[in-house]
Structure 1
Amino acid sequence: MKLRYSALYVALTAVLATGPALAAGQDASPQDQANKQDQARKVKQLDAIEVSATKRETPLQKTPVAVSAITADTLDKERVMTVQDIVKLVPGLQGTSQGDHGVVTLTLRGIGNDSAKTEYADPEVATFVDGVYTPRAEAAAGLLLDMDGVEVLRGPQGTLWGRNSTAGAISFTTAKPDIGGGFYGNGMVEAGNFNQSGVRAAVNLPVSSTFAMRVAAVHEQHDGYVDYQNPVGQIPAVDQQRANYLAAGGDPAAFQPINTNLFVQKGKKYDAQDQSAARVSARWQPSDSFLWDLSYEYFADRGTPSMNLMQHPRPGQDFWSALIDVAPYLDRTSHTVRSRMDWNIGDGVQLTYVAGFNRYSGKSDYDQDAGVNVPTSFATNGVYQEDRTNFSNYKSYSHELDLKSTGENALDWILGLYYAHENNNIRFDIPIMNGTQQGTVNWQGSFIQPEEVVSTAAVFGQATWHISDSWRLTGGARWSHDRRENNGGINWGWAYDPAYPQLPISPGEQPGDVGFSISQRNDATYSKSKPTWLVRVDHDLGPDGLIYASVSTGYKSGGTQDGGALYKPETLTNYEIGAKFAFLDGHLTWNSAAYYEVFKNYQLSAPVTYPDGTHGLGFANVGGKTKVAGFESELAYSQANDRANLILSWIPEKKLGTEKYAASNDYYVPTACPPESTISNNCMDISGNDLPHAPNVSLTAIYEHDFVLGNGGRLTPRLSAQYQSAQWLSWFNFGAGDKQKSYVRGDVSLRYTEPGDKWYVNAYVQNVSDGKVKSSAAGSTLLADGTVAFTSQYLPPRTYGVQLGFWF
C-alpha cells in the first residue's frame, strides 16, 4: 500500500511541478486550439458524437443500432469507476454484486447470468476494451482508467462482436496518445467519508513527429462499509451452551465452550476498496496509411469482497454489520496487452488487426454464512461456512483480422476472422462446520480444476447496400465454433471417515490426505458450431431523422459442468424497431427503440446438492421460449450553459419459458424435486416466472447548469436521480425477501471551474437519502420460528467527498 501510494505521489508531484512550467513556456498550436474547439462543439452539438458500433466511425444519430454513447466528461462527472457505475446511464442495464469472488455480473434487457463469475460460465453481456474481448466477469470490477468513452450496444451483437454478446456488448475506448498535441495532461485528488481517498493522473508525451506515448495511473481506496458485531452478549453463557450441546445428543466429554476469539473484530472490513491501475500507451503513425496503437495495462485489487447482510438484522445490531468468523481477503492481479494496427492498403480498403493478451490471477476468502444464525454451542445452531479460492489463474489471448471498405460507396462491407483462447485453473475449498469452526463437519468440499480450456474461432461478414440516398439495407452473418475442455477436474467431498479429525481443510492440505474422497470427475469436452445473422433496413427522415427495423440473433456457448455433464447453448432472436431524431440544430436528440426477444435454452446455473450428498455448480436449460419485450428511450439536451438527460427503460414482459424445475443451495425451497431430477435439493417450478433484475420501469434524470461568475469562473450544480420499479432478484420469485421494492436513488454535486479552465473543485454526495438498495438476494437459512432469513448485497450507503482536478 505505502509503495503504491509513494509511486503515485511521486508521479503526481512531477506532473504538478513540470506541467505549468512547460505550459507557460509554449503557446498552444493552431492544431491544439482547433482540437479543443472541435471537442467543445461536439459537447454542445450532440448529433456530432461518433460511435464505432458497426466497426466503423459513424455519427451516433445516423447509426441504426440501439447504442448508448457515454462521453469521458460524463464518466468523470458521474464518478464512474467500474462497470456497475454506468448502470443508471444505460436503459435496461443492471449490475449485480456477487459475494465470494467479489465480482459484478451484468444484465441487459432482463437477460443475464448471476453465476458468470465461475470458471465454467460465460456472460450474456460481452465487454470489450479497445476492441479486445474480456472473458472474465472479474474485469467488470476493475477501475475504468483514463477512458475516452463507453458505448453500450443493446440487443444481440453476434454478427460483428461475436459470441457471448447475446444480450448486448459494452465497448470501452481508452484515451490514446496524441502525436501532434504536445505535452499536456490532467490529474485529480479526492477525499471523502469512510476514509475514502483517490488520486489519478494522465500525461501525453510526444516523442517525435510520428510517435507519442501516454501514461496514466490511478489509486482508489475506502474503508469497508460493514462493521464487525461483537459476539459477547449474543452467544449464550457457558452453562447454557453445555445444555444446548447435550440436548442435541452431544458427547459430554467432547464439550468445549465457544471461543469468542474466533470471531473477527478488527482488521480490514468487508466492502472495502483498495485498487490501483496503470496504463502505458503508444501510438506510431509513420505514414498516412498506417497507424499502430499498443498498450500495457496493470490492475491490482487488494480490497475485500462485498458482504451478504441480513435484510432484517437481529435486535440491537446495526444494519451495516455482521457476525463474522472468516476475515475478508481479496487479491487480484491482471496484466493486459492490447494492440491495434490499421492499414489503408488501397483506394477505399482498410485492413485492421486487433490482438490482445491477458493474464489474471486471484485469491479470496469469504464468510458465506454471513453470521445469520448465532451458535448456541460450539457445535449447534450456527453454521461456519468459508468460501475460499486458494488460487485461480486465467490466461487468454485473441486475434481479429478485419478487411473493410472505407469512404463513400454504394456498398459498405466488412469481412473478418476471429480466434480466441483461454486456459484457466482453480482450486476452491468450502469447509462447512456445525455451530462454529470448532464444531463437527456438516460437509466439506474441495474443487480442483487443473485445466479448463476454452477456444472459439469465427468468420463473419456484413454489408450495407445504399439503395438510394435515404434507404439502406444491411445483412450480416457469423459462423462460430466453440470448444471447451475440462481436463483432470476433480470434486472432493468429505467422506465422514472417523479416522480423520473433523477440522476445516487448510489451503496447503491435499483433500485425499485429510479425510476426503473423490465425489465427481469433471473431465468432459464440449464442441459445437453455430451461425448468427442480422437483417436490417434503415431510412433517413430528412437530415435530422432516422428510422430502422432489424431482426438479429445472438448466441452463447454451451459447455461442461461438475460431473462431466454438458449443457446446451442458448440462442436469442431479437425483433427491433428504432428511431433517432435531432432537434434545435443538434442540441437536442431523442433516440428510442422497441424490441421483442425470444430466448431458447436459457441457461440457469446455481450451487446445488447431488443425490450422493456432494455439492457442485449445476447448469440447466429452460424449456420452451423465454420472452422479453420492452421499450427504451434516451433524450439528451445540451446548449449554452444547460445540459440534461432523460433515460427510460420499460420492460412489461420478461417471462421464463416452461418445463423447468430449479434448485439452488442459496434458497430454502420446501418442495421435493421430481423423480427425474439429477439433484437432491428441494425444487421449485419456475415456469413462467419473471426474469430477475428486470424492473418494469427504470428512469434516470440528470440536469446541470453553469452559473458564469463575475470573474469568468463557472459554478455548476448537478442533479442525478434514478427511479426503478420493483424487481425480482432471482428466477425463484420467492416472496418479499427475493425482491427489491421500487426506489429512488439520487446524487448531487457542485463544481467550481476557474476562469482559465486549469483547475476545478468538486463536492459531491452520492445516495443522498442513504437508501438501502439490494443488488442480490439469498434465503437458505430456516430459522427456529419456521421463517427464512434472507440476506442481500447492497449498493453503497451514502458517500460524500471533495475532488480537486486540474489540466495542463
Structure 2
Amino acid sequence: MSLALIPLLLLAGGAQGGPHTGTDPEAAPAEAQQDAAPSGEILVTARRREERVQEVPLAISVLTGESLAESGAFNVSRIQQSQPALQFYSSNPRNTAINIRGLGAPFGLTNDGIEQGVGFYVDGVYIGRVGASTFDFVDVQRVEVLRGPQGTLYGKNTTAGAINITTRAPSFTPEVRYEASVGNYNFLQLKGSASAPIADDTLAVRISTSISNRRGTIYNTRTDSYLHRLDNYEVRGQLLWRAAPNLDLTLSGDFNLQNPLCCVQYYARVGATQRPLNRQYAALAAAFGYAPPSTDPFDRKTDLDASINSRQEIGGASLVANWDLGGATLTSVSAWRYWDWKPANDRDFVGLPITTVSQNPSQQKQVTQELRIASNGKNRLDYTAGIFLFHQTIDTQGSQVQGPAASRWLLNPGNVAPGAVGCATPTANACNPAVLNGLTSRNAISFDNSSFAVFGKLNWEALPKLRVQPGLRLNYDKKSGSYVATVTTGTGSTTLNSDQRGVLAPQSYSPRFSDWNVSGDVTLSYDFDRDVHGYATYARSFKSGGINLSGLPLDANNSPILAAVTVKPEKVNHYEVGLKTQFFDRRATFNLAGFWTEVKDYQATVTNGQLGVIRGYLANADKVRVRGFEFDSNIQPSDRFKLYANGAFTDAKYARFRDAPCPPELSGGASSPANCDISGQVLPGISKWAFGFGGEANAPVAEGEVYLGYDGSWRSRFSSNPSPSAYTWIDAYSLSNFRLGYRKGKVNAFAWVRNAFDKRYFELLSVQSGNTGLIVGQPGDPRTWGFTISGSF
C-alpha cells in the first residue's frame, strides 16, 4: 500500500464532511458519471478537477465511449482521424510516436534514452513508455485530447499536450455491457464488462475484457503468410471501496497481450542518391538477380525473409484514493506498471539475406506516486497543489546479424564500369560473402530514470467574469544508462577489419544526465456570456534532456563520437488565445484557438550514411517554430440530425538547424556535404492542413430509430523523413467511413465500412540505411467492412 494512503486511512473516520463530493472523479462511482451529458454538458478532468468542457480555458477535444465505438476508433491510432491536430505514427508498437501540433516525440526509431512530449494518462496514471499506449480501448468512458503545453499539472514531458483516458468506474447498480464485431479479413472483436456491488454501498467491482483478431492485410510470398494482423487480448479489473463516507479507494489491475505481426515496411519507390551507380539499389539488386514481388506497394505483397514479430505484454496495478475534506479533496495515485517487448524485424526491407536479425527486446518497469490537494466547488480562489515521483528502469537486449548478401550490398566493390554489377577484382571484400556473413552486434542497454516534482496552480477570480490562473512546477531529473555493443565476426572473433568496423562497430559508454527545471504558465480567461468564454495563455515548458542509447555516430576512424552522448532539454515558449462559444440553446458549438510555439534545442532523431546504421541517434536542433490555428465545431439542430467539423492549420518548421543530416538525394557521394542546413524546412509528420468531419441522421422506426452516419478526414501532404526529401513526401489523402444501423433502448446494431473508397495511402515512408536509394513504405489499411452489435442491461 502506498505510504501516501496511510494518513488517509487513519484520519478518514474522524474527518468532517458529508457524502463523497470530491471533485476528482478518478475513483467516483459510475452512476455519478455519464458517457456524455446533455448537449454542452460534457464533464472532463483536464485540470485535475471535474469541470464543464466549455469552461476549461484550453484547447481540448473529448471523445465519448459511445462515439469511439461507433466510429471504430478502438485505439489511439484511430482517433487521429477525427482529431486534426493529433498525429500517431508506428512502425511497430515500440517505435511509436504520438504528436500534437507536430511536436512530441522525434520522428524515427525509438531511442531508450529519450522521453515523449505528449503525456499519456489512464485513470490518472502516467504511462512512461509510448509503446505501452497501443492497447485496445475497453470500457472507456471518454478520451480527452489536451493541446498545447500542460507542464504545470501533467508534468515535464507534456510540452505538446496530453491524452487523458478515463475508464468506467465500478457501479453500485448492477450492469453488463457487451460489444461484438465481425468483418472482412476474418475480423473478430469482442468486448464485455460487468459491474456490481459486493457489500451494499461500500464495495463494488468491475471486470472488463476485450479480444481483437484480424487476418493480415499484407501477403508475404516468402513465408506464405499474412502480415499486419491483429491479435490482441486485454482484461481489466477494478475494486471500489467506500472506506468512509468521505473516502473512496479504487484498486485497479490490467493485463494486455498483443502479437500483431505488424507494421512491416517494404518496396515503395527508388530515388537516386550521390552514391556511385554500382552501389545504388538498381545495380545492387541486379547483382543478385533480385526483384521484389511487386513494384506497386498497394498490391500488398512483400518477400521479407527475416522473422517478423511484435509481441508485447502491458500491465500494471494502481491504487487511487480520494478523501473529501469538505473544502478540498486530497487525492493519492499510486501505480506500478510494466511493458515487455519481444520483437523481430527485417530491417533491410528486401527479400535478401542482408540483415538477417534486427531486434531490440526491451523490458520497462515504472513506479509512480502522485499526491495532490484541490479545492472543492467553484470559489473566488481555487487551487491545486501536489507532488509527483517517478522511477523507471529499461533493460534492452539488442542484436543485429548480417547475412551472406551483406558484403555485396554494403561494401564498396571498387571502380567498375558504369552499369556493371560485378567487382573490380575478385579479391574485393564486397565479393567475399564471408567478410560480413555472421557479423553480429549484441547490444546490452540499460536505463535508469528518476524524477521528482512539486507543482501548484491557482484559479483566482480577480474581477467578475475575469479569472487569472497561474501555475508553477519545479522538477528534478536524474538519468543514467549503459550501452555496450560487442561485435563478433562469423567465426566468433572480436578482431575486425576496417570494412567490418564500418558496418558494425563495437561501442561502450555510460552516459549520465541530471538537471533542475522550472516550468510555469499563466492564463487569463473571461466569461463574455454564459456560453461565450475567451482565454489567453503563456506557458514556459520543457522536455527533459536525454541520453543516446542506440549507439553513437562514428568519426573517420570508426570510433564513437562521445560528444553526442547526451542531448539538452527542450525549452518551450508557448502563446495561445482561444474563444469557446455555444449558441442555439447549446445545440451548436464553435471553438477557435490560435497558437505560436517556439522550441529551443528541439530533440530530433537523425540518421547518417554509415553502412550498418539502422537506428538514428539523438541531436538538438537549434530552434523549431510551430504556429497555427484550430477550430472544433458541431451542431445538432434537432434530435434527428447532427454534424461536426474540426480543422487545423499548422505551420511547423525548423527555424534554425544548420548541421542536420542531409536527405538521401544529397548523401553517399565522395563530395556530399557532411551536413545540411535545413533551416526553414518543414518538420516531419505534420500536414499544413487537416480536417475531420462527419454527422448522423436518424428516423424513428418501430419504437427505435434507423440512422446513417459518416466520418471523414482529409490531410495535406507531409514529409516522412527528419530532413525533408523529395522521395519521402506522403501525398494528401482523404478517408471516408460509413455506418448504417438501428437503435432501440440500450441495443445498437449497425453495419459499417471504413476507408469506403479504398484510398491508397502511406502511413509512413522510410529510407533504407546506407543511402542505396530504396524507399520503403507502410501502407494504410485497405477498405474494411463489417457488422457490430452492442448493448447493456
Q: Same fold (TM over 0.5)?
A: yes
- Structure with the bigger RCO (C-alpha within 8 Å, sep 6+) is 2
The answer to whether the 8 Å contact 1:692/1:729 transfers is yes
What does 1:676-695 correspond to in 2, within 5 Å?
A: 683-695=675-687
- Aligned partners of 2:488 and 2:494 also within 8 Å: no
SS at match of 2:227: coil
**Residue matched to 2:631:** 633
Q: CA separation in 2, counterparts of 1:577 and 1:545?
A: 14
Conservation of the 8 A alpha-carbon contact between 1:672 and 1:682? no
Aligned to 1:31: none
CA contact (8 A) 2:62 2:142 kept: yes
Given that 1:491 and 1:521 are in contact with CA atoms closer than 8 Å, whether structure 2 keeps it comes out as: yes
CA contact (8 A) 2:76 2:134 kept: yes
| Alignment-derived partner of residue 353 in structure 1 | 332
Whether 1:211 aligns to 2:203 is yes
Name the counterpart of 2:647: 648
Query: Cα deviation per residue 1:337-391 (whole Å; 9 max; x = unaligned)?
Result: 122111112x3121111111102111111111221xx65xxxxxx73453223x3
Aligned-residue offset at 1:500:
8.7
- Give the conservation status (yes or no) of the 8 Å contact 2:457–2:472: yes
CA contact (8 A) 1:750 1:764 kept: yes
1:491 aligns with 2:485: yes
Q: Distance in 2 between matches of 1:730 and 1:602?
A: 16
Q: Where does the alignment leave 5 or more consecutive residues of structure 2 unmatched? A: 1-28, 270-291, 408-431, 553-561
State how far apart, in whole Å, the 2-side matches of 1:38 and 1:552 are: 31
CA spacing shift, 1:498–1:155, aligned 2, 3 Å: closer
What one-letter code is carried by the residue in structure 1 that aligns with 2:46? A
- In structure 2, the CA distance between the partners of 1:153 and 1:531, relative to structure 1 (3 Å rule), is same
- Number of the residue aligned with 1:748: 738
Deviation, 1:771, is 1.3
Matched, 1:331 2:275: no
State the TM-score, normalized to the length of structure 1: 0.81
Do structure 1's residue 284 and structure 2's residue 241 form an aligned pair?
yes
Shift of 1:804: 2.1
1:293 aligns with 2:293: no
CA shift, 1:688, in A, is: 1.9
1:601: Cα distance to partner?
0.3
Q: 1:520 to 1:420 in 2, by over 3 A?
A: same
| Matched-pair contact (CA < 8 Å) for 1:84–1:140 | no
Equivalent positions of 1:476-487 (< 5 A) are: 476-487=471-482
Q: Which amino acid aligns with 2:716?
A: S
Take 2:49 and 2:37, find their aligned partners in 1: how far apart are those partners?
21
Shift, 1:316, TM fit: 7.2
Residue 366 (structure 2) pairs with residue 396 (structure 1): yes
Distance, in Å, in 2 between the alignment partners of 1:38 and 1:618 is: 46
Quick check: 1:117–1:136 contact (8 Å CA) kept in 2?
no
Q: Deviations over 1:257-303 (max 9, x none)?
A: xxxxxxx3234x32111000000011112333111122100000122
SS at match of 2:132: helix
SS of the aligned residue for 1:416 comes to: strand
Q: Quick one: structure 1 residues 35 and 323, their matched pair in 2 at CA, closer, same or farther if it must change by over 3 Å? A: closer
Q: Does 1:141 align with 2:120?
A: no
8 A contact 2:109–2:616 mirrored in 1: no
Pick which of 88-97 and 586-595 moved more: 88-97
Which position in structure 1 is the counterpart of 2:538?
Answer: 551
Is 358-367 or 638-647 further displaced after alignment?
638-647
| Alpha-carbon distance in 1 for matches of 2:158, 2:769 | 36
Gaps in structure 1 of 5+ consecutive residues: 1-33, 230-263, 376-381, 503-510, 675-679
Query: Offset of 1:309 from its aligned partner?
Result: 2.8
Deviation (angstroms), 1:794:
2.2
1:719 counterpart residue number: 710
Amino acid in structure 2 at the alignment position of 1:636: N
Aligned to 2:159: 166
Q: What is the alpha-carbon distance in structure 1 between the residues aligned to residue 311 and residue 366 of structure 2?
A: 19
Distance 2:492 2:323 in 1: 69
Do residues 178 (structure 1) and 171 (structure 2) align? yes
Say which SS state the counterpart of residue 777 (structure 1) adopts.
Answer: strand
Contact (CA 8 Å) 2:712, 2:736: kept in 1 or not?
yes
Paired with 1:283 and 1:356, the residues of 2 have a C-alpha distance of 16
Change (3 A) 1:385 1:600: farther
C-alpha contact (below 8 Å) 1:661/1:687 kept by paired residues: no
Q: Is the 8 A contact 1:91 1:633 kept in 2?
A: no
SS at match of 1:73: helix
1:760 aligns with 2:748: yes
Call closer, same or farther: CA 1:662–1:158 in 2, change over 3 Å: same
Residue 728 to residue 115, structure 1, CA distance change in 2 (3 Å): closer
Contact 1:145 1:218 in 2 (8 A): yes
| Structure 2 residue 658 is matched with structure 1 residue 701 | no
Contact 1:656/1:689 (CA < 8 Å) preserved in 2?
A: yes
Identity %: 23
Aligned to 1:57: 50
Matched-pair contact (CA < 8 Å) for 2:82–2:691:
no
| Shift in CA distance, 186/225, structure 1 to aligned 2, threshold 3 Å | same
Counterpart code for 1:295: S
Aligned position for 1:307: 264
SS at match of 2:394: strand
Cα distance between partner residues in 2 of 1:406 and 1:790: 56
1:759 deviation in Å? Answer: 2.5
CA distance in 2, matches of 1:277, 1:446: 35
1:661 alignment counterpart: 659
- The alignment of Structure 1 onto Structure 2 pairs a total of residues equal to 698
SS in 2 for 1:55: coil
Deviation digits for residues 461-483 of structure 1 (CA, Å, limit 9, x no counterpart): 11111112300001111011111
Aligned residue type for 2:691: L
Equivalent pair of 2:488/2:495 in contact (CA under 8 Å): no
CA RMSD after TM alignment: 3.0
Q: Is the 8 A contact 1:421 1:455 kept in 2?
A: yes
Contact in 1 for aligned 2:223/2:305 (Cα 8 Å): no
Inter-partner Cα distance in structure 1 for 2:56 and 2:187 = 40
**Pair 1:803-2:773 in alignment:** no
1:223 paired with 2:240, answer no
Aligned to 1:685, the other structure's residue is in SS state coil
Against the structure 1 CA distance between its residues 315 and 333, is the aligned structure 2 distance closer, same or farther, given a 3 Å change threshold? closer
What pairs with 1:493-508 in structure 2 (closer than 5 Å)? 493-494=487-488
Q: 1:793 aligns with which of 775, 778, 790?
A: 778
- Residues 772, 103 of structure 1: CA spacing in aligned structure 2 closer, same or farther, 3 A cutoff? farther
- Give the secondary structure class of the aligned counterpart of 1:601: strand
Which residue matches 1:250? none
Q: How far is 1:712 from its partner?
A: 1.1
Contact 1:102 1:304 in 2 (8 A): no
1:69 aligns with 2:62: yes
Q: Specify the SS of the correspondent of 1:138.
A: helix
- Is contact 2:37–2:43 with CA below 8 Å preserved after alignment? no
Q: State whether structure 2 residue 771 is matched by structure 1 residue 779.
A: no
Report if aligned partners of 2:182, 2:189 keep a CA contact under 8 Å in 1. Answer: yes
CA change 1:599–1:343 in 2 (3 A) is: same
| Residues 217 and 228 in structure 2, CA contact (< 8 A), matched pair in contact too | yes
Structure 1 equivalent of residue 124 of structure 2 = 131
CA shift digits 1:548-594 (9 cap, x unpaired): 00101221111221356111111211100001011111111111100
- Matched with 2:299 is 319
Contact 2:609 2:769 (C-alpha < 8 Å) held by counterparts: no
Cα separation, partners in 2 of 1:117 and 1:650, compared to 1, 3 Å? same
Report the secondary structure of 2:72's partner residue: coil
User: How far 1:627 moved relative to its partner?
Assistant: 0.8
CA deviation profile, 1:35-66 (whole Å, cap 9, x unmatched)? 999959x5541x21111111111111111011
Q: How big is the shift at 1:517?
A: 9.2
Q: Is 1:578–2:572 an aligned residue pair?
A: no
SS at match of 2:388: strand
Structure 1 residues 349 and 548, CA, compared in 2 at 3 Å: closer, same or farther? same
SS at match of 2:80: helix
The 5 A counterparts of 1:78-477 are: 78-99=71-92, 103-112=95-104, 113-115=106-108, 117-179=110-172, 181=173, 183-208=174-199, 209-229=201-221, 264-267=222-225, 269-312=226-269, 319-345=299-325, 347-371=326-350, 383-389=354-360, 391-435=361-405, 439-440=433-434, 442=436, 444-477=439-472
